[in-house]
Each structure stands twice: as structure tokens, then as C-alpha cells.
Chains A and B, each alone.
Chain A
């Protein structure tokens, strides 16, 4: 009997050891792959872009979790709003909650993409969580994407049509109400 108990104990101990420590799950980073858009809604109706609009600068960047993002891949399907920002930018802070809500309302129809420059990863994450930013965020450490869009300081907003036509840019940014109005006027058919 003692031998049987000892054997059982040994099996239990071995089982406990072989299970090893609980696998640590990596935290889901705000602005990462989980924020990429879903399928384009079937009823999305868009205004044709003006023929005179220049092509938006194409770029590939990395999201906060390292996931590569190709801008042209996004605007192939639908309009894109780029918001250029930094966590230390006081105007960005003041406007971000409303912009986050606007992005949620347009999710999958008009894709918002944040482009964070001159920032620290931990401060950027705090900013994204505090202001409920639920769209993809490209980390533009050296501001190469900023420069390609002639962004010299945050905030700035750029609107790109489906297909990649550069419709408008706003140095100094826009508040959510003004941006919603411009989205209606410039890209969404049947509004504005």
C-alpha cells in the first residue's frame, strides 16, 4: 500500500512539474494588429475623387506591436484618415476622445490610422488607452511618414480617398465635428 501511495505521489509530482509554469500571454498592445479593420460593408457608397487630386504618398510602417501595415492596402478598399500625433501634444490630447468616438462610428467604412512620431512606447500606450484609441497606430519614430506628408508638428490630419487620391490635409488638425463634416463632403455619398 505504501509503495502504491508513493508511486501515486511521484506521478502527481511529475505531472505538476511537467505542466511547467503557466504560459505568460503577451499583453495586447493598443494600436496593434487587433485594431485592423474588418471587411468593407457591402452598402458603402463613396463619392468619386476629383481627377485633379494627387496620389497620396504610399508607405509601409509598423504598428505598435510590430505588425506591418501597408497604407495602399488600406486605401485599396476604402477611404483612410491619417491622424499625425504625439502623446505629449496638448492639442491632440484635447481632441482625441472625440476623434476616437468618430473613428468607432465609421469603423470599417472609413479607416482611421494614427501615425505617432517622436514618442516613447510606454507614454504612447498610456495615451492610446486613456483616450480609447481603437484604430491602428503606426510608430513613426524617425518621422519619415510625417515628412512624406509634410507634417512638421502634431497634430495634423490627412484624408485619402479609396484608391489613394490625396483629398485634403489639415496642418494643426481638426476637431471631430469638423472632420466628420469634411468626411461627409469629400468621401461618403449620401451625406454632407
Chain B
């Protein structure tokens, strides 16, 4: 098929418009084509260990203590990538008191730390950080000793 110059210009403009429309639609739905499809995510557990060595019964619900009280049930958190983009948002569950030392002290209440464990799904990134209640973000370190996890220790 042969087109005149004017017709070719008109067709070119139409194709450009169609192309732009498809791009806009793809962007709005999150389906950017084969290159930008939904990003693969992996299940992993974010574990926060608040090492406050507070005296508690092992296994009871807990919060961080003193200056770390903002680590508590229902506190909002975000998992961030190295550029600061939020990958996951949510709220913390209650923490669980874990004995800080292996020795049997023969008392009900023992020195403990407070552990929060949150299952999340995150895309692959070079690093991750955890922000809780709008406070400065903490580095999350990969750790597979108890299953795939990203771990933050407070105070580090």
C-alpha cells in the first residue's frame, strides 16, 4: 500500500497517539508489558529484636521498653528499599518475650528481649531498611538461621 506524504503524516500521528494511549493504559493498570510486569516477590519474615533485657515471664506479649516503647502492637511500619521507596507497609503484632540467657535461673521472670516477627513479601533489592512509627529507619540484615528473615537488632 502506498500513501501520500500527507496521508503518511496523518497515519504517523495516529500511531503515535495510539502508542501513547496504550502506554498510559498500561501504566495505570500496572501492566507495563513484558519488561515492567508485576515484580516477583518472595516471602520472608521481618524480625525485630529489641534487646532491652527487661524482666518478664518468657513467652508473654511485650513491647519495647523505655526509649524503645514505640516498638509495640499496632505501631505502623514500612520496609524500605535503598532508595527509600516503601515496599511493604503494615502494623506490628505484639512482641514476644524471649529469654536473653540460656541459664535456668529458677524464677518465673527472667531477663528477656522482645521479638517482633512479621511475615512479608518483598521484591529482590540490594538492601532493606525498617521504619517504625516514623522514627529513623534501621538496617535489616538477611539471616537464614531460622528460615529466610530480615533482622534488625535494637539497640544494635
Contact = CB atoms under 8 A, between A and B. Distances in A.
Contacts of A86: 63, 72
Interface centre among B54, B60, B74, B75 (most CB of A within 10 A): B74
| Interface size, A (range) | 10 to 19
A91 interface: yes
Nearest to B61: A90
B73 interface: yes
Interface in A88-105: 88-91
Given A86-B72, A118-B70, A152-B52, A172 B61 contact: no
Interface string B51-64: 01011110011111
Interface in B47-99: 52, 54-57, 60-66, 69-70, 72-75, 94
Contacts of B74: 88
A69 B52 CA distance: 32
Nearest to A147: B66
Interface residues of B, number: 20
Contacts of B73: 88-90
Contact of A90 (B57, B64, B75, B94): B94
A153 B60 contact: no
A152 B71 CA distance: 12
B72 A172 contact: no
B54 A153 contact: yes
Interface in B76-124: 94, 109
A118 B66 CA distance: 11
Contacts of A117: 69
Given A90-B61, A153-B64, 5 more contacts: A88-B72, A89-B63, A91-B60, A118-B69, A152-B52
